[in-house]
Amino acid sequence: MRPIDHLCGVIFACFICTVVLIKVGVASEDRIVSPKKTRVWGPGLKSDFFVPVRYFYIHAVDESGEKFIESVGEKAFSVSTYSSDGSRVRIWTQVLDRHDGSYIVRFRPYETTTSLIIDVLYGGKHVAKSPYTLKGPVYHEKCSCPQPDIGQFYKQLDCPKSYQQIKQDLGIFKKIDMKKVAKEAVKRFNNAGAHSICHYKVINNKIYRKTYGQHVGFKMFVDNILVSIVKKVKLPNVEFIVNLGDWPLEKKKLSENPLPILSWCGSEDTRDIVMPTYDITEATLEMMGRVSLDMFSVQANTGPPWSEKSDVAFWRGRDSRQERLDLVVMSRNHPETIDAALTNMFFFKKEPEKYGELVKHISFFDFFKYKYQINVDGTVAAYRLPYLFGGNSLVLKQDSHYYEHFYHHLKPYEHYIPFRHNLSDLMEKVQWARDHDKEAQEIAKAAQMWVRQNLNPADIFCYHVKLFHEYSKLLKNKVEVDKSFEEVEIAKDSESQCDCKPYKKVKGHDEL
């Protein structure tokens, strides 16, 4: 059986330039942590790993070489950073205790340093090969220092060579004539009134766009990821159209020559090209910033251990689909099995006698007080799913024709328990989980491990860049500047030095 991590804990945050007070934890049977044998690894220990928030991992190991499988103390490890000349650096760090003996260390630079040194300590002693020296500039997010070789960018982020979903989505197109595509897309979707689209062009790493439709505010999410990408890598010239709405647009039955429309959600009934949702993308860009829920924070806030969780299936949300209302009714009839309630009602008539009164929002992290999480579609796929998988609860997922960019890698009964779209077998599936507690926990752990390996910040950048790169190869015509397009501003940092250094190859990959 493959090793599976068990995640839970509480976020511990500090400015990385300040050494954290140490609280040495001792695990069961009085085992002693070995600073020398403890493992420290991860991409954040390389200077050329350029993402908004950098990260690496610690796993506590005892004197006999055995890994701990439970927390050795929330504040067991301390981390501090400074430049090679000993001066402080404006960097914010968090050490996240996952309560399985492992920790995430993540840090967000607010200024560039030419040579960063990281101390990792346990009980006042250096851990593993600490101190770690990141040779070459460590840029902060506002710096625009793109890697000129996209292949080397892939190596720096350790991107997969390909993505099956991208191959599938782009495989139906031989060549893309954007002049025809743009004309047809504007005619079809702009006139519909209910849709909004945005035509993007990236030329010499400058971003241009033109919007169509009444509600185009969601262009900010595409702007943000594109701006972040072009600061890190030189994209090929490319142009594409993004659907700014929830529903995928290009229906299979309507056209033998589909339009290449990029969307955040796909479906079995459409041919849209799927990219990571705006939710997980924005959580990646704004990690340790204005968002509190991301793929790392959820790993440190998964509630009590499995044995202490409630065995009631849990759900909260708004009334964006009939099945959600049906779920609430089911919960009211079987409160000992399902705890489901509405937090808002926008789409259906309020009927308190049938659906109960609206309840207050609770922290997403409090979801994980329950063993079982029910995932029901919203207007499209429920974008909370990756975060549910990141916890240590079992996900029961509604059968659906909607999907996000990673869904097709997940397998029923290996990563989640499926139930019918109309909920007719949901009670049966919850009871199965209750009767097969060990198997249910193993499925939860398998999903948890999968998202830890495939939905990290680097993975979100890799997918976007690979999608734009492969898409650009299909364009029939040269991408040209159009005066009717607006250039997207790329803000420059005026406070911190962003003196870009030339890239050079070192030991088979690029270093700065």
Q: Where are the domains of the chain?
A: 11-143, 164-284+457-492, 297-454
408-466: pLDDT as tens digits: 999 999 999 999 999 999 999 999 999 999 999 999 999 999 999 999 999 999 999 99
Q: Which helix (H) or strand (E) holds 389?
A: helix 385-390
184-229: pLDDT as tens digits: 999 888 765 678 999 999 999 999 999 999 889 999 999 999 999 9
What is 11-143's CATH number? 2.60.40.10
What sign does the dihedral 186-163-171-227 (CA atoms) show? positive
286-325: pLDDT as tens digits: 999 999 999 999 999 999 999 999 999 999 999 999 999 9
In this structure, what is the dihedral angle of CA atoms 289, 290, 295, 297, given to the nearest 10 degrees? 80
128-180: pLDDT as tens digits: 999 999 988 999 999 999 999 999 999 999 999 999 999 999 999 999 999 99
Which pLDDT band, with edges at 50, 70 and 90, does 18 fall under? very low
462-495: pLDDT as tens digits: 999 999 999 999 999 999 999 999 999 998 765 5
Task: Please state the CATH superfamily assignment of the domain spanning residues 297-454 in this structure.
Answer: Glycogen Phosphorylase B; (3.40.50.2000)
Which pLDDT band, with edges at 50, 70 and 90, does 29 fall under? low
In this structure, what is the dihedral angle of CA atoms 503, 506, 511, 512, given to the nearest 10 degrees? -50
Share of the chain above pLDDT 70, in %: 90
Radius of gyration of the chain, Cα coordinates, nearest whole angstrom: 24
